[in-house]
Amino acid sequence: MNKISVYVLAFCLSLGCTSVYSQNNNRRITTSNEQNSDVFYHTIERGQTVYAIATMYGVSVDDIYRMNPGSKEGIKAGAILKIPQKDAATVPAESLAGDYTYHTIQPKETLYSLSLKYTIPAESIIQANPGLSTSTFTIGKTIRIPATRIETLPTTEKKSVTKEIEYTIQKKETMYRICRKFNISSNELIKHNPALRNGVKAGMTIKIPVQAEETVVEVKKMPGEREVNALLSAPKDIKKVDRIKIALLLPFMTNEPVPSATTSRFVEYYEGLLLAVDSMRNMGCNIELSVYDTGNGVQKINEILKEDALQEANLIIGAVQNEQITPVANFAQKRNIKYVIPFTSKNDDVLSNASVFQINTPHSYLYSKAAQAGCDLFSDYNIILLDIKDKENKTDFIKAFKSEMKTRQMEYKELPFRPETFQTDIEQLLSTTKRNVIVPTSGSLDALNKFKSPLRMLAETKPEYGITLFGYPEWQTYTRECLEDFYALNTYIYSNFYADNLASNVQDFYTLYKTWYSKNLINTFPKYGILGFDTGMYFLGAIRKYGSNFENNLDKINYPSVQTGFNFHRVNNWGGFINTNLFIVHYKNDYTVTRTELK
């Protein structure tokens, strides 16, 4: 098959209980009488898009636009959307959304009341919503109600019962003969027939107790309200794993004569993961790693998923193309295996699959959090958006940033970039009573080169302006050309990955990698070798400490990352987890760099 011996590949690569009511705030969604069985209500969370919301409920974007006309112009966190219940007859069997009714939790509703309302066991509701707890069973939250209903027919059971039969005593019969005939003691016989105390007489009719099997009809008793509602706060045991089994699925393209640059990055990711495995083994962790070459398309994936190592895995990492990711995600969900998607941020499986952990943050969540961070950092600044028409314009981020400023009633200015008059134009907008921050609308190096020199000159000749620059993740790849400018302009960037080359843990990793593989990391961002190491250390450490169901203790996992931080957030009560970690990197005037992690 395609399974690659870990050691062979490593060698080759080295060469080249109380009633819990829904509580939240006084926000009113709709009353039970108002609620239409054909619709339910979704409260928009930060970072969500209409497309993502439609996908998680198995409806179309047009369905949402039709029921919420204003949503076509944009949606806002905290607003409420009306969502149509999907028609089960039109949902494909392989659909991620499945056959569910969606319910928006109303005031005073409990798990018990919903169990009665939908005639379904409370355990089935919890099973369909793995993220459901006292903290998520709140007014306005949506949950899935599975199609299976409580069986209304009574149950039947065969039981042994005692019955009495009548018997007429024959001539010459004695007490002894009757007892022997019916296998009963004389005391038991007299107990049922007190008249026998006066003697046995022919012609008497007596009662004989006999054992018989009888089908008993029994109606199963429903658990009580207190018992049902307590399920939301029931402690969840840690499922310890003695030997952690990992399956790594990457397109190594072993059939290609010369590996491409992309393939080399995946090899580097594997090498970084091997370093994490070795580190965890040195801590006493028992690990079995199986590695597979997925190639392109789904043919190899389908074969790999038949392997015993996949069936028995605690953790699956990898697959790159969406057509490969979906079958792996479905496989993991059916077997309750944790599945880590390390690279793409554009996969939808996480929206309806509780087994999925998506490391690369979807842009909508990233921009929303970065906009919040920018407003927190520069709430007292004079904010100037520098509009540079460029092929790499950050339209969605700027939109999110403007929306956040508007929500907070923060003022900002906009300046179209004109190279011949830029210095004069910008100076007219600068404040002398506040610090000033410049936010360009493009993240490209070409855009940065257009304004950084005149802006730096202004910052150095007129320090009273207190000029600061706020920019983008890709700026960390420009340090060879722009590092001095970043320092001079007191630059901040946001990013979901960052490795400070001067930090001791980064230096230690570079040394370890070169010792193992006799080469340096590929000079790209993010560095896949460190990504593989961080991923392995985080998830192996999580399983080692909190078992195969470590998702119940995510808030307790604090891994000091080398490059990629982890802060997983469940997308809804039934879906998987996306990584919402964000770094704010600050290039200071004193030529130092700090990395602040925002949870």
> Other C-beta atoms within 10 Å of 390: how many?
17
Encoding tokens for residue 146?
A: 């599975």
Backbone phi and psi for residue 265, each to the nearest 5 degrees, phi listed first: -70, -40
363 and 578 Cβ atoms separated by less than 8 Å? no
DSSP class of 148:
-
**Mean pLDDT along residues 568-583:** 96
Return the C-alpha torsion angle 167, 169, 174, 179, nearest 10.
0
CA-only gyration radius of the chain, Å = 34
Question: 90 pLDDT exceeds 60?
Answer: no
Lowest-confidence segment of 90-94, 186-190, 195-199, 380-384 by average pLDDT: 90-94
Question: 28 pLDDT exceeds 70?
Answer: no
- What confidence score (pLDDT) does residue 155 get? 60
d(CA 374, CA 492): 9
d(CA 499, CA 221): 59
Contacts 24+ apart (CB under 8 A), 413-419: 413/382, 413/383, 413/384, 413/385, 414/384, 414/385, 414/387, 415/384, 415/385, 415/386, 415/387, 416/387, 417/386, 417/387, 417/388, 417/389, 417/450, 417/451, 419/450
Question: 361 pLDDT exceeds 80?
Answer: yes
Q: Side chain identity at 153, as an amino acid letter?
A: L
Instruction: CATH 3.40.50.2300 in the chain: give the residue spans.
Output: 3-13+239-353, 364-495
In terms of Cα–Cα distance, which of 78, 555, 134, 551 is closest to 355? 551
* CA-based torsion, 525, 529, 534, 539: positive or negative: positive
Question: 3 pLDDT exceeds 60?
Answer: no
* CA-based torsion, 300, 305, 307, 312: positive or negative: positive
Instruction: CATH 3.10.350.10 in the chain: give the residue spans.
Output: 39-152+225-233, 155-218
- Top mean-pLDDT range of 45-49, 95-99, 188-192, 438-442: 438-442
Contacts 24+ apart (CB under 8 A), 396-400: 396/363, 396/364, 396/367, 397/367, 397/370, 397/371, 397/472, 398/439, 398/441, 399/74, 400/367, 400/368, 400/370, 400/371
Question: 274 pLDDT exceeds 90?
Answer: yes
- The CATH topology of domain 155-218 is Membrane-bound Lytic Murein Transglycosylase D; Chain A (3.10.350)
CB proximity list for 119: less than 8 A, separation 6 or greater: 149, 150, 152
DSSP 298-312: SHHHHHHTTSHHHHT
The CATH class, in words, for 39-152+225-233 is alpha beta
CATH architecture of the domain covering 364-495? 3-Layer(aba) Sandwich (3.40)
DSSP class of 496:
S
Can you identify the CATH homologous superfamily of domain 3-13+239-353? Response regulator (3.40.50.2300)
- What confidence score (pLDDT) does residue 183 get? 86
Q: What is the pLDDT of residues 289-329, one digit of tens each?
A: 999 999 988 889 999 999 999 999 999 999 999 899 999 99
Backbone phi and psi for residue 524, each to the nearest 5 degrees, phi listed first: -135, 170
24 and 138 Cβ atoms separated by less than 8 Å? yes
CB proximity list for 471: less than 8 A, separation 6 or greater: 439, 440, 443, 448, 491, 492, 493
DSSP 123-141: HHHHHH-TT-STTTS-TT-
d(CA 363, CA 361): 6
CA distance to 100, 186, 407, 562, per residue, from 527 (Å): 41, 91, 36, 11
356 and 329 Cβ atoms separated by less than 8 Å? yes
Lowest-confidence segment of 1-10, 130-139, 186-195, 367-376 by average pLDDT: 1-10
Backbone phi and psi for residue 385, each to the nearest 5 degrees, phi listed first: -90, 115
Q: What is the pLDDT of residues 541-566, one digit of tens each?
A: 999 999 999 999 999 999 999 999 99
d(CA 286, CA 7): 16
Q: What is the pLDDT of residues 147-161, one digit of tens each?
A: 866 554 456 667 777
Quote the Cα angle for 161-167-169, to 5°.
145
Average pLDDT, the chain: 88
CA atoms within 13 A on the CB side of 517: 26
Number of H helices, E strands in the chain: 19, 21
In terms of Cα–Cα distance, which of 440, 533, 556, 563 is closest to 491? 440
- What confidence score (pLDDT) does residue 217 get? 63
- What confidence score (pLDDT) does residue 297 get? 87
d(CA 214, CA 365): 63
CB proximity list for 388: less than 8 A, separation 6 or greater: 417, 440, 441, 442, 447, 450, 451
In terms of Cα–Cα distance, which of 207, 178, 183 is closest to 195? 207
β-strands 315-318, 287-293 pairing: unpaired
